[in-house]
A and B are shown apart, each in its own frame.
Chain A
Amino acid sequence: METEWVIRIVLFGVVHWILAGVLLHDLASRQKVFGGRKAPWAVIILIIPCFGSLLYLAFHPQIFNPDYNRDHRNKKD
């Protein structure tokens, strides 16, 4: 295997695992997830490199607006 391909695979792996770590942490702390169950999302994030994470982000865009979610929850309480 060429060195360039090794670098590409390593880079892809690094991105996948960092993103997976961040998103799994978010998944664990989230009260409600799309579809109601967390386990399938964890599998998707881990098994499908990068695209699984993108899929999770596409279905949980509220990750980019935590202030609104917190304020909304506080109002409900």
Chain B
Amino acid sequence: MRQRINVKQFIMPLLMILCALFYYFGELVDWAAWDALRQNFFYGVHDIHRLLFLAPIIYAAYTARVKGAIIATLVSFIIFLPRAFFISPFPDPLLRMVLFTIFAGVIGVLVGTIRNQTIKSQQLEATLYNERNKLLKIMDGMADGVLITDADYKIRFMNSNMVKDFGEGAGSTCYEHLQKRATPCEPDCKILSVISGGEISQWECRFPGGRTYEVVAAPYIDTDGTTCQISIFRDISNRRAK
């Protein structure tokens, strides 16, 4: 079976070759005697021409991170050497070239480091998301109702048992959805003491329609870092009726 060629891997060498050709274009014109292409720009100080090498260095830092940035910077340095050693008639060619290489290398390494961090945080976010989904799946299969509410009383999650008893209410406030009230259920509500005090609370809660639930609530830190309340609702209406 024929192996597919990854075209992306040739972008970096191609960029380097293009930059090198541009950097030595004046010499190339002289060598090939392309008089029509002879421009003063290609025979001046090459500080501006060198800036073009930032493109492959940053690209290498983006694709191959810090290692790529270091390799691309050193390759650029090798490309600069012949001009600095033998061609440039301007003062301090070596010093200017070294300074630029250090500058470009630092930028490349910084880009590589930032890219590293971005990828790491993306992977971490994906892991966290998967873990949360796994946890929610477990909670969804529980026989009791499970409700996750944040400090603003907004419902973040209801498991299937809770949805069966009260209807889907994620996004709305718990007092509106569960108790059909316009304001929080003070002084009975324990959400603030659970979230800010970190306490585990247990109480009985009556809902419209005569149902009574035993509620056990504990603090829970959601994937975005917000401290919420996770409550387990056990229907004890039958027990109360007896």
Contact = CB atoms under 8 A, between A and B. Distances in A.
Contact of B63 (A19, A53, A65): A65
Contacts of A4: 94
A67 B13 contact: no
A47 interface: no
B238 interface: no
B77 interface: yes
A41 to B, nearest CB: 15
A39 interface: no
Interface string B42-76: 00000000000000000010011101101110110
Interface in A33-75: 50, 53-54, 57-58, 61-68, 72
Given A7-B94, A8-B94, A61-B10, A67 B70 contact: no
A18 B9 contact: no
Bin the interface of chain A by size: 20 to 34
Contacts of B40: none
Nearest to B101: A15
Interface residues of B, number: 24
B73 to A, nearest CB: 10
B63 A67 contact: yes
A1 interface: no
B81 interface: yes
Interface in A6-22: 7-8, 11-12, 15, 18-19, 22
Contacts of B77: 15
A19 B71 contact: yes
Contacts of B98: 11
Nearest to B10: A61
A22 B63 contact: no
A54 B178 CA distance: 69
Contacts of A66: 63-65
A58 B14 CA distance: 10
Given A50-B78, A57-B75, A64 B64 contact: yes
A61 B74 contact: no
26 contacts: A7-B94, A11-B81, A11-B94, A12-B81, A18-B74, A19-B78, A22-B67, A22-B71, A22-B74, A23-B71, A50-B78, A54-B75, A57-B71, A57-B75, A62-B9, A63-B67, A64-B9, A64-B12, A64-B13, A64-B63, A64-B64, A64-B68, A64-B72, A65-B9, A65-B64, A68-B9
Interface of A: 4, 7-8, 11-12, 15, 18-19, 22-23, 26, 50, 53-54, 57-58, 61-68, 72
Given A7-B94, A15-B74, 8 more contacts: A8-B94, A53-B74, A62-B6, A64-B13, A64-B68, A64-B72, A66-B65, A68-B6
